[in-house]
Amino acid sequence: MSLRHGCGKLIVVLVLVATLVVMAPGRIRADTGVTYTVTIGGAYLRTQPALTSLTTQPIFARQVYDVLGRNADDTWILLDAPKAGDGAWALTQFGTLAGDLNSVPLIDITQKIPRVAPPLMHPRGVPYITYGMRLLYQRAVRNGLDPSFFTVAGDCNSERMAYLGRLAAGTFQLPIGQEYLLPTIARFASSFTRSSLAARGSFGTLAMFDPDWADPRWCTDQEGPLACELRVSNASVVFIALGTGDQYEWKSFEANYRSIISFTLASGALPVLVTKADDLETHSGAVSGYINSVIRRLGREYGVPVMDFWLASRSLPGYGLRNEGNDNFHMTPAGSDLRVLMTLQTLEAITRR
């Protein structure tokens, strides 16, 4: 499965090999009274109702499945999937239900997640979490923020199905040797299925405080996207992945970015600053690496973590960016995979005991 995404939309491209045939829209099997119609463009079913479980067969928009079971909070449902033996699990939010879900059997499955020691070598670009940074996280928890929820403020590369939602959909696979991150995925599982109100295509630092960019369904007339997202999500950790959208306003980037860091700290949450893989501001007269240099310097000044995606992405073809001529900034699947992995590694470091 590969992904191509832009600031306005996400295109999911699923490549099937051998004799697997993409079925036309319609019912796959009809043995029970409750059905599930897939609404997500493409995702994978799982062997158990957890993001830490193995993926099985792919599902596609408009396919219809019979529902065989559900978990305790109805966030996962067991589907009668023809290629998955006794069935496979899907996130309820990836489709719509028809029928009375209360009539479906409740299936209690407790997944045991092995505890694996982290690698001895520190991942490139992942921040070392100091005692002071960990205290900021602990303060957030003491102040009532959710210790098991993080969110992101960013542009199109941070929209759900281009970033964190890929883990939920099963299009991101945890690399071999990174099994120590499974407890982190389990702890922050609900974060991967939610769309941040502060992440949207073309968002820059100024948009974070502009009520015109806020979602009126969730936000008050006075709230910008950042304040709204912090209030609604109650997140204890916020990844701030901004800068690409500031290519033309790079001269005011530092002042705007300072305001974002200060506001996040004042809200009680721990900000994690994220550098970007592109260098678009050079087209507008900035020196190469200007915005990333500001992000790193402010991270040191405020004593908050900096996830240096720019540094880590140097090992990827095209630095993890799609070849779009002179304005490369959309991530390739490899670039997105790396950023999801680094996010997990950073969260594990922050919450490690």
pLDDT digits (tens, 9 = 90+) for 244-254: 999 999 999 99
pLDDT at 22: 36
**∠ CA(26), CA(28), CA(32), 5° rounding?**
110
pLDDT at 245: 94
Q: Which residues contact 75 (CB under 8 A, 6 or more apart)?
A: 49, 91, 92, 93
| Spans of all domains in the chain | 2-103, 131-351
Between CA 156 and CA 265 the distance in angstroms is 24
| Dihedral (Cα; 79, 84, 86, 89), 10-degree rounding | -40
Give 254-282 pLDDT, tens digit per residue. 999 999 999 999 999 999 999 999 999 99
pTM, entire model: 0.89
pLDDT at 313: 97
What architecture is domain 131-351? 3-Layer(aba) Sandwich (3.40)
pLDDT at 108: 86
What architecture is domain 2-103? Roll (2.30)
pLDDT at 7: 55
Between CA 171 and CA 230 the distance in angstroms is 27
Q: Which residues contact 251 (CB under 8 A, 6 or more apart)?
A: none
pLDDT above 70: residue 89: yes
Where would I find the beta strands (DSSP E) of 82-234?
88-91, 95-98, 146-154
